[in-house]
Amino acid sequence: MCLAVPARIVEIDKQMATVEIGGSRREASLVLLPDASMGDYVLLHAGFAISRIDEAEALETLRLFRAMLGEGNVAEDD
């Protein structure tokens, strides 16, 4: 129901931002995410930023995946 993709804010002009994902750029409204700032990764849905992506949480999720793979480096991360 709701396609949203992670994109990085590379420019802000009041309530409008330019976001970038893998070399593609688009305008995005920040009306729904007024405290977003430059460099943030946000979820973009239908031309609106709807949520900030928490990079620390993303890394934690990836660490959990690796833990399941049983990679040795997990203990060091802890």
Partner 1 sequence: MRADRSGQILLAHGSGGRLTQQLVDSVFARGLSNPILVRMEDAATLDFQGRLACTIDSHVVSPLFFPGGDIGRLAVTGTVNDLAVAGAEPMHLTAGFIIEEGFAFHDLERIVESMSEAGAEAGTDIIAGDTKVVEKGAADGVFVTTCGIGRVPDGVDISAAGARPGDAVIVSGTIGDHGITVLSQREGIGVATGLVSDCAPLWPLVRDMLAAAPGIRVMRDPTRGGLAATLNEIAQASGVAIEIDEAAIPYRTEVRSACELLGLDPLILANEGKLVAVMAQEDTEAVLAAMRSNPHGRDAALIGRVEAAAAPRVHARTLIGSRRVISMPTGEQLPRIC
Partner 2 sequence: MTDAGRLAFLDEFRSGPQTRGLLEELVAGNSVPLKVMEVCGTHTMAISRHGIRQAVPEELTLISGPGCPVCVTANADIDAFIELALLPDVIATTFGDMLRVPGTRMGLAEARGQGARVQVVYSTLDALKIARENPDRSVVFFGVGFETTAPTVAAALLEARQTGVDNFFVQSVHKVVPPALEALSSAPELAVDAYLCPGHVTAIIGPEAYAPVASRYGIPCVVTGFEPADILQGLIMLSRQKAEGRSQVEVQYTRGVRAGGNPAALALMEHVFEPCDAAWRGLGTIPGSGLAISEEFAAHDALRRFPVDVSYSREPRGCICGAILTGQKTPRDCGLFGGACVPEHPVGPCMVSSEGTCAAYYQYES
Footprint of partner 1 on this chain (CB under 8 A)? Answer: 1-3, 5, 7, 21-27, 44-47
- Per-residue contact track with partner 2, 14 to 53, x per CB under 8 A? -------xxx-----x-xxxx------x-x-xxxx-xx-x
Among 68, 75, 76, 78, binds partner 2 (CB under 8 A): 68
Indicate which of partner 2, partner 1, none lies near residue 25 (CB less than 5 to 8 Å, by partner kind). partner 1
Q: Give the closest residue to 43 by CA, choosing from 57, 30, 62.
A: 30
Cα–Cα distance for residue pair 18/27, rounded to 1 Å: 5
- Kindly provide the b/e burial profile for residues 7-45, where b requires at least 16 CB atoms within 10 angstroms of the residue's own CB: bbbeebeeeebebeeeeeeeebebeebeebeeebbbbbe
Q: Give contact residues for partner 2 (rule: CB under 8 A).
A: 1-6, 8, 21-23, 29, 31-34, 41, 43, 45-48, 50-51, 53-55, 57-58, 60-62, 64-66, 68-70
